[in-house]
Structure 1
Amino acid sequence: MHRRRFLTTAAAGIAGGLAPAVARAQAPIKIGVLLPFSKAFAVLGDNTLAGFTLGAREVGPEVAGRKYTIVKEDDTADPSVGVSKVRKLIDKDEVDVIVGTIHSGVAAAIRNPIVEARRLWLNPIATNDLLAEQGCSRYHFRFSASGWQSSAPMAPWAKRKAGERAYLCAFNFAFGQQTAAHFRKAFEAAGGKVVGESFPPFGTTNYAPYFPAIKDAQPHVVFANFAGPDAVAFVKQFAEFGLSPGVKIVAPSNLVSEDVLPAQGPAAVGIYSNSYYTPSHDIPKNRWFLKACREQVGKEADHFLCAGYDVAQALFGALRETKGDASSGERLAKVIEGMTIDSPRGRLRFDPKNHNPIQDVHMRVVQASPLRHVVVDILKDVAHPDTGACKL
């Protein structure tokens, strides 16, 4: 073959071989967002996405020179729907990263498909303890709190502040059952006594059948764990039945979160809750966050927006570090594992043993005029206990 023709042919072959690789390198990063956008948890999904959107707007349409696109799916807070939707995101949409979800049952159901596909999984809210213990994964990071963090640290605090007799009333699924069990263990370890328990099903609208048992047990404190419309119904009916203010309620943040507090109204006053985020927490990052939520996404800040925003901070920070390379979930995970995030909640970092957050927990009480949470105590650097079950 003539030398010039050979060089021309070889160059064309090399260029042809490189073209698909270049095209792939320049393709947008695909971010799959799996949240409940309908039914009972729709507001929670919308707020979490709004927080993520706020973080994405800080970055702009590109990160490290690469465009990104968001593919949304609605899991409806149903585990079977969640599995179907996450498989679509992975197999059909070929997303690089999964952001989700809210419901603990959905989180447990989607765990295996995500981990088997080796996708980075940023979990904004779901508290299922499985994901910090035997079901942990190097690809998974939680941005809210485990079931243990949402309940156990407040138990000795509640005994000191409210009394030694407790009643447990929570959702009849993983989040409710796990948090109630953790509260029981910690309350009894502090010298308290659990005098009864009830587990109403998800979607309960009438709690009146459960209140006589609470009244007869004569507790000083009720540990309650509900969210969305269930939380509104429980809090209002609890007050109407006449159990408060004589019996104090302590709860994870979702019972009286900002999305339900206006509907609960005066019935919520005096309820204690714990949370990683409180809108009234006066630090510079949170002052900016409150204003940005109102002006940029039209929302009042809450812990769902905070978690969504911090997911965006972690994801885009990791992508900057990898120069826009989203091809390795393991590489992205390694970057996030070493991060300390300047969050509206305060400092956020991840436990290298289980990828659960290490963070301060706010003990708050609902006050009137205006109706809001006020921090009354801060439990520093709360981490999920190392049970030895997690093997990253």
Structure 2
Amino acid sequence: MTARNVLRNIKLSAAAAACAGACQLASAATIGLMAPLSGPIAIVGQDQVDGFMLAVEQLGGKLGGQPANILKEDDQLKPEIGGQIVRKFIDKDRVDAIVGLSFSNVMMASLPRIAESGTVAIATNAGPSPVAGAGCKANVFSMAWQNDGAAEAMGKYTQDKGIKKVYLMAPNYQAGKDMLTGFKRYFKGEIVEEVYTQVNQPDYSAELAQLQAAKPDAVFVFYPGGMGVNFVKQMAQAGLMTKIPLYSVFTVDGTTLPALRDAAVGSVSGAMWDAALDTPENKKFVADFEAKYKRTPSEYAATAYDAANVLNIALGKAKPGDSKAFAVAVKAAGNEVKSVRGPFAFNNNNLPIQNYYAFESVKGSNGITSKLLATPLPKHVDAYHAQCALK
């Protein structure tokens, strides 16, 4: 063998060795998972992470047959932090998809860079009205809900129950406004008062005094995570739970019930999912989640679990290097996934078509559980999709 051939073989071997690492990395599916993992709302983010990772584990650590590389980041429920994380995911980590996207305020702050990049993004806890309507994007999906949806179900349920006067409360940000808008869309009685409080406000004594003085037939609230724990506990301590029926969304759920316990009994919640849903997919999901994490999952875990399974289907059909083709594959996967919530599909605006249920918190032999009362809005389509130019 000549010296030239020896040198050529050494170069080829070095190239092959370099490719071995690089090619293996290229064949992996890299997912950026962003959620609030600190502060009073951390349980909402942790449930999303745990639901997503449970699905990945069940899929053998792979998505679409490729090893899954999951990068987790804490946005701290701060739009500026979320924006930095999204830029890092896209520009430095070059992720194939972003999942989570936190709360609506964080998602909206991150949206311009996501839309510009074409990177597929799947929200598991947000569906702000601008994204559902004229601001829809072909690469932006919500596996969760359009924000108004669960509140619309509660508006429909209270209307059907013949309730005449309702007092409304929510935190002062995009999702809070969307929730109360949704409730008013279906409730045709009198709105006694519409109160917006600070995000992460810990004390509601002044607001509860105003609520009691107003003497409504019922109160409807949206207070997720720690906010919900504080609000419901303080309402119970004030003796109002037996005087003013409580209807809510994302307030009494799997993340808050362990802390609320008896304080939640009798409250009615609107949701697209609950551990009480009696389907084979949901029974398995709940059992597996409880076995692994030693707690009951919430709707945030359910949406993230479904998101992982949608990505698994999509990555089996299209490689994310072509962002447009990958977005088309994600949308098609929404029609194929066996969702734990029952019926599911992506609408033209990439937000869900799904059932919205009414659940009551009841005390049973195994503690506080949920009882399915009704399905006020079956296979519900959001109010904004006609404003979206996507097909």
Same fold judged by TM-score > 0.5?
Answer: yes
Q: Could you tell which deviates more after superposition, 218-227 or 239-248?
A: 239-248
**Cα shift at 1:65:** 4.8
**Cα shift at 1:220:** 0.7
- Corresponding residue for 1:257? 253
| Counterpart secondary structure, 2:149 | coil
- Corresponding residue for 2:305? 309
1:186 pairs with 2:182 = no
Counting only pairs closer than 5 Å after superposition, residues 150-299 of structure 1 correspond to structure 2 as: 150-161=150-161, 163-188=163-188, 192-252=189-249, 254-299=250-295
**Cα shift at 1:391:** 2.1
**Cα shift at 1:46:** 1.0
1:366 pairs with 2:361 = yes
Distance of aligned partners of 1:21 and 1:139 in 2 relative to their CA distance in 1, 3 Å threshold: farther
Q: Which amino acid aligns with 1:43?
A: I
**Cα shift at 1:136:** 1.2
| Counterpart secondary structure, 2:102 | coil
CA distance in 1, matches of 2:267, 2:163: 15
1:375 pairs with 2:369 = no
Distance of aligned partners of 1:197 and 1:45 in 2 relative to their CA distance in 1, 3 Å threshold: same
Counting only pairs closer than 5 Å after superposition, residues 97-176 of structure 1 correspond to structure 2 as: 97-161=97-161, 163-176=163-176
1:345 pairs with 2:331 = no
Q: Which amino acid aligns with 1:214?
A: L
Identity among equivalent pairs (%):
28
CA distance in 2, matches of 1:359, 1:319: 23
- Corresponding residue for 2:70? 70
**Cα shift at 1:22:** 10
Q: TM-score, normalised by structure 2?
A: 0.90
- Corresponding residue for 2:327? 333
**Cα shift at 1:301:** 2.0
Contact 1:162 1:221 in 2 (8 A): no
Distance of aligned partners of 1:321 and 1:299 in 2 relative to their CA distance in 1, 3 Å threshold: farther
Provide Cα deviations, 1:358-377, integer angstroms capped at 9, x if missing partner: 11111111111220111100
Aligned length: 376
**Cα shift at 1:176:** 0.9
| Counterpart secondary structure, 1:67 | strand
Structure 1 segments of 4 or more deviating over 4 A? 19-26
Give me the CA root mean square deviation: 2.4
CA distance in 2, matches of 1:22, 1:65: 18
CA distance in 2, matches of 1:294, 1:162: 38
Contact 2:64 2:314 in 1 (8 A): no
Q: Could you tell which deviates more after superposition, 205-214 or 81-90?
A: 205-214
- Structure 2: any 5+ residue segments left out of the alignment? none
- Structure 1: any 5+ residue segments left out of the alignment? none
Q: TM-score, normalised by structure 1?
A: 0.90
